[in-house]
Amino acid sequence: MRIPPPSPRHVRPARLLSLLALCACCLAGAGCSTTHPGPISSRELAEARAFPYFPVYWAGPSFRGHRLSAADGLHSYIEKIGTSVYYGDCISGKGLFGGGGSCELPLQVTTVIYRIHDNAALGRQRNTIVRGVPAVVYDEGRSIELYTGRVTVDIFSDEYANGIYAAERLLPMNAPGSASGDLPLPVYCPGLSGPVSSALSAIMRNLPGQVCQTDAAEQAYAKLLYK
């Protein structure tokens, strides 16, 4: 499920002020060359890397020339929203100004515990396989949702090329893992909507504990009970 861009209270106050200044500058069309915030502080990065509840995914300390500018940690963690890392000079205009705006992050990666949902709500989408796990591309290619372990990894980018580039380089920032090779298979059955390729169907059939078959059987039984 797409996670909305974070509200200002999800970013450290000192960093938020500099990010807000840059966003306002960009929206006004003024020169922004001296407004760029510094890289993430070592303290903020250490807090994010010590997050204890599940693997938090990122694309490394920089992404295509954009520095890691902020990261959520335990202090700001909200279970339904998850935890995010942010690359670039400002947070999304949608999160700050209620829609629109020219100041957009090149990349945000959000990791959240998977909650059962139907992907039909995502609108036009394409089911695919990324790093060996089920994934869905939506929002005209600017958003990619990957299903791995107990979590969903949502990649929000300014264009598909950046999103898939990040997806191919994801690794946990607070747990062992690699930026190459397959990600762990999900331990749940993703609520995919729309056409599914034979290769993706094979992955879904062979998830740990055959969870998709179990889910289908439970749903069929529930329908019989409530006829």
Question: What residues does each domain of the chain span?
Answer: 8-225
* Three-class SS of the chain: CCCCCCCHHHCCHHHHHHHHHHHHHHHHCCCCCCCCCCCCCHHHHHHHHCCCCCCCEECCCEECCEEEEEECCHHHCECCCEEEEEECCCCCHHHHHCCCCCCCCCEEEEEEECCCCCHHHHCCEEEEEECCEEEEEEHHHCEEEEEEECEEEEEEECCHHHHHHHHCCCEECCCCCCCCCCCCCECCCCCCCCCCCHHHHHHHHCCHHHHHHHHHHHHHHHHHHCC
CA dihedral 195→200→203→207, nearest 10 degrees, is -40
How much is the average pLDDT of 27-53?
71
Given a cut of 60, is residue 20 above it in pLDDT?
A: no
Which of the pair, 155 or 4, is modelled with greater confidence? 155
Instruction: Give the position of tokens 């019989």.
Output: 224
Given a cut of 70, is residue 225 above it in pLDDT?
A: no
State what percent of residues in the chain have pLDDT above 90: 64
With cut-offs at 50, 70 and 90, classify the pLDDT of residue 14: very low
pLDDT tens profile 126-179 = 999 999 999 999 999 999 999 999 999 999 999 999 999 999 999 999 999 999
With cut-offs at 50, 70 and 90, classify the pLDDT of residue 1: very low
